Amino acid sequence: MDNTIHQFDNGIRVKTEFLLPSQLERYQKINLHEPEEEVIFLDMLRQLKRPDPIFFDIGAAIGYYAILAKKQLPDVRIWAFEPLPAHLDATRTHWTLNGLAEADIHLLKIGLSNTNGTAQLWVNDFSSKLTQLETFQQLMKRRLFRKKDTLQKI
């Protein structure tokens, strides 16, 4: 396999450039992105009884959970909200890398909030793009302003 691509035991593929060295090291022991969280997430998906399920991925990051949801429930409609351009690109890349059609995801370049307007985000490059609204802003490298909306407005 291409060493620029990491494949998890559940079949999801991601580009290694979006993973931290500590994550890659952890995956040598348990080759799942977030093993404990995934057990809960998959259990929640199994409990969905709707004929036309919808998954809102709020803070989609690299698209991992949107992909996991689509692979588990092929009929699920995905709405992914992500204010960071680098993460939007990563989600698109990983969606395609995992053989999913662009028409199967609604990717919105906004942060989901309880108010409409603009949010000030603080971003640092030391993680897979850790983002904070205000907390720890002294640790962050740069400031971005991004649109935010409520679910009712969308």
Cβ-in-10-Å burial (0-12, 13-18, 19+) of 152 comes to exposed
Distance CA 65, CA 55 (A): 10
Cβ-in-10-Å burial (0-12, 13-18, 19+) of 115 comes to exposed
The CATH number of 5-112 is: 3.40.50.150
Residue ranges per structural domain of the chain: 5-112
Q: How many beta carbons lie within 10 A of that of residue 89, not counting itself? A: 13
Query: Which pLDDT value is given to residue 119?
Result: 79
Query: Which pLDDT value is given to residue 142?
Result: 58
Give residues with Cβ within 8 angstroms of 24, minimum separation 6. 6, 16
Walk along the chain (154 residues) and give the pLDDT tens digit of each residue.
567 999 999 999 999 999 989 999 999 999 999 999 999 999 999 998 888 899 999 999 999 999 999 999 999 999 999 988 888 899 999 999 999 998 999 999 988 888 888 877 777 664 544 444 455 444 445 556 667 777 776 6
